[in-house]
Amino acid sequence: MQRINYPQQKDWEDILKRPTQTVSDIEAVVNSIFKEVQDEGDTVINKYTAQFDKVTLDSLLVTETEIETANGNVSEALKQAINLAKSNIEKFHAAQKTSRVAIETMPGVDCWQEKRPIQKVGLYIPGGTAPLFSTILMLAIPAKLAGCKEIVLCSPPDKNGEINPAILYTAQLCGVTRIFKVGGIQAIAAMTFGTESIPKVYKIFGPGNQYVTVAKQLATKYGVAIDMPAGPSELLVVADDSANAAFVASDLLSQAEHGVDSQVILVSTSEKLIEAVEEEIENQIKELPRKEIAEKSIGNSKLILVNNDQEALELINEYGPEHFIVCVENEDYYLENIQNAGSVFIGNYTPESAGDYASGTNHTLPTNGYAKQYSGVNLDSFMKSMTFQKISEKGIQGIGSAIELMAEAEGLQAHKNAVTLRLKSLKK
C-alpha cells in the first residue's frame, strides 16, 4: 500500500482517485453488444455466453430440476446461515415500510402519497471467481417485501453450463420468479430490451465489474432505471491507537480480495497504528486463497496519515466511501459529521463482512464517490411514490382564482379555462 503522510488538501483529488477506467474507455464495447442484443436477441446472448463463459447452452432458463438438484448440493450448515441472514435482512427492510402520507392543504383540498411496487425488476448476480449468492438476499428480499410481481435473475454459468448451487438455493428461497444463465454486458442488455427468453424489466439492480456498471448506465438511455452506478468494491477505515491493528488489516483485506480493481484506504492520526496495520497486512495476505487478487488491489490502495480528526473527516467526506469503518476513541465526532458514505460500521467488533452477509443492512451500495448523491439499496428502491388529490366544490372555490391567475401569467389559457368552467358551474 502506498504511504502518504500529511497530504495537502490541494493534492486530495489526485490521492483519492479510484483505479477505474473511464466510461469512454469501454463504452464502445458496451454499445456494440447492446445493439447486437437489441437486433438479434437470444442468438447473440448464446454467442457471447460461448465466447466469455466457454459453454454452449440448450436453454438460458434454469429448470425446476436444476433448482431441486442445487438444493441438495447446499450443506445444511450453509442453509442455516443463509436463513439466519435472510431473517435479519427481512426484519431490517420490513421496518422501512411507511404508511400513506395524507394532508388537507386547505379546506376541501385533500392530497396524499402512496407507494406502489415496481412490477418488473431484474437482478444481476456476479458469478466467476466469487458467486455472490449473498447479493440475492440483499435484492430479492426487499423486492418481495415491496410486492414486485416479476423478479428476474441473471447470473453467468460456469464451464459446465451450471450456476452455483448456493445462488439457485437462495434465489428460490427468496422468491425469484425466473433465473437465467447469462452474465456480463449481454445480461444487462437482455433485461433492457427483452429477448425471446428473457423479459424486459423496468429497473435493474446488482453489482458487477466495470463493464456491467457501464452497461447499466447505458440501459438508462433506453428507459430502464437502475439502482445506482455501483462498480468495484471499496472500503475506507478511520482508526487511531484505540483500534486493533489485526482487525483493521483483516477488514482492508476483506475488500481487497473482491477484485483487482478494488480499493481500500486507511486514514489515521497515528503513525504507530499505520505501521502495525501494514505489518499485519503483510502477514495475513500470505494465507489468503485469493492472495494474487488481494495483492493487486492492495497496490491500488493507500495508508494516509493526517494531523487530526477534523482533517480526517474532511478527507473522508471528499472520498465518499462505499463502506466506512470507524474505529476511533472519538467515534461520535465521525458519526455525527459523516455526510458521504454508503454504509457505516462502528467499533472494533463490527467488521464490514457483517453488513455484507447477515447483520440486516443492505450491501448493494454506491461506489466511485456516488455516496455523495446516491443511497444504498433499500425497500424504497423497489417502489415508487404516487401522489393523489381530491378537491371538493368548496376546495375549487378556495384555490381556483389562484390557479387562474398563475395560468394566465404563464400564457396557458386552456389551463385557466379548466378552472373557470368549474367555478362558473358552481355559481348557477
Question: Which of 234, 323, 352, 363 is an active site residue?
Answer: 323
As a whole number of angstroms, the distance between CA 419 and CA 416 comes to: 5
141 and 253 fall within a common domain: no
32 and 166 fall within a common domain: yes
Q: Counting every residue, how long is the chain?
A: 428
412 and 345 fall within a common domain: no
Nine-digit cell string for 162: 451450471
DSSP 3-state assignment of 226?
strand
217-258: pLDDT as tens digits: 999 999 999 998 777 789 999 999 999 999 999 999 999 998
Nearest to 274 by CA among 245, 247, 251: 245
CA distances to 3, 14, 142, 218 from 187, in Å = 40, 34, 22, 13
As a whole number of angstroms, the distance between CA 3 and CA 138 comes to: 35
186 is in an annotated binding site: yes
209 is in an annotated binding site: yes
The helices-and-strands tally (H runs, E runs) of the chain is: 17, 14
Residue 377, in any domain of the structure: no
As a whole number of angstroms, the distance between CA 381 and CA 144 comes to: 12
* Strand-strand pairing, 343-346 and 109-117: unpaired
Active site residue 323: yes
415 and 275 fall within a common domain: no
CA distances to 97, 144, 202 from 384, in Å = 13, 15, 12
Residues near 322 by beta carbon (within 8 Å), at least 6 away in sequence = 233, 234, 235, 341, 342, 343, 365, 366, 367, 371
Q: 133-146 and 165-173 are packed helices; what angle lies between their axes, rounded to 10 degrees? A: 10
309 and 181 fall within a common domain: no
74 and 207 fall within a common domain: yes
Residue 123, in any domain of the structure: yes
As a whole number of angstroms, the distance between CA 178 and CA 180 comes to: 7
- What's the DSSP call for residue 100? P
363 is in an annotated binding site: no
> Are 364 and 205 a contacting pair, CB within 8 Å?
yes
What single-letter amino acid sits at 169? Y
Identify the CATH number of the domain in which residue 13 sits: 3.40.50.1980
304 and 356 fall within a common domain: yes
Residue where a domain terminates, one of 203, 230, 257: 230
Nine-digit cell string for 307: 494531523
408 and 422 fall within a common domain: yes
Residue 378, in any domain of the structure: no
Intervals of the chain under pLDDT 50: none
284 is in an annotated binding site: no
413 is in an annotated binding site: no
Residue where a domain terminates, one of 230, 263, 278: 230
Active site residue 363: no
Question: Which of 162, 322, 352, 363 is an active site residue?
Answer: 322
Residue 385, in any domain of the structure: no
- What's the DSSP call for residue 373? T
Q: How is the chain split among helix, strand and coil, in percent rounded to 5?
A: 50, 15, 35
State how many domains the chain has: 3
> Are 356 and 134 a contacting pair, CB within 8 Å?
yes
323 is in an annotated binding site: yes
Residue 369, in any domain of the structure: no
Q: What strands lie across the sheet with 343-346, from one edge to the other?
A: 2-5, 302-305, 263-268, 234-239, 323-327, 343-346
319 is in an annotated binding site: no
> Are 214 and 26 a contacting pair, CB within 8 Å?
yes
197 and 320 fall within a common domain: no
Q: How many CB atoms lie within 10 A of CB 86?
A: 18
93 is in an annotated binding site: no
Residue 257, in any domain of the structure: yes
* Strand-strand pairing, 2-5 and 101-106: unpaired
User: In 253-335, where do the E strands start and end?
Assistant: 263-268, 302-305, 323-327
182 and 219 fall within a common domain: yes
188 and 225 fall within a common domain: yes
Residue 410 lies in domain? 392-427
Residue 382, in any domain of the structure: no
356 is in an annotated binding site: yes
Burial class (CB in 10 A: 0-12, 13-18, 19+), 333: middle
Q: 413-427 and 393-409 are packed helices; what angle lies between their axes, rounded to 10 degrees? A: 150
* Strand-strand pairing, 101-106 and 109-117: antiparallel
129 and 278 fall within a common domain: no
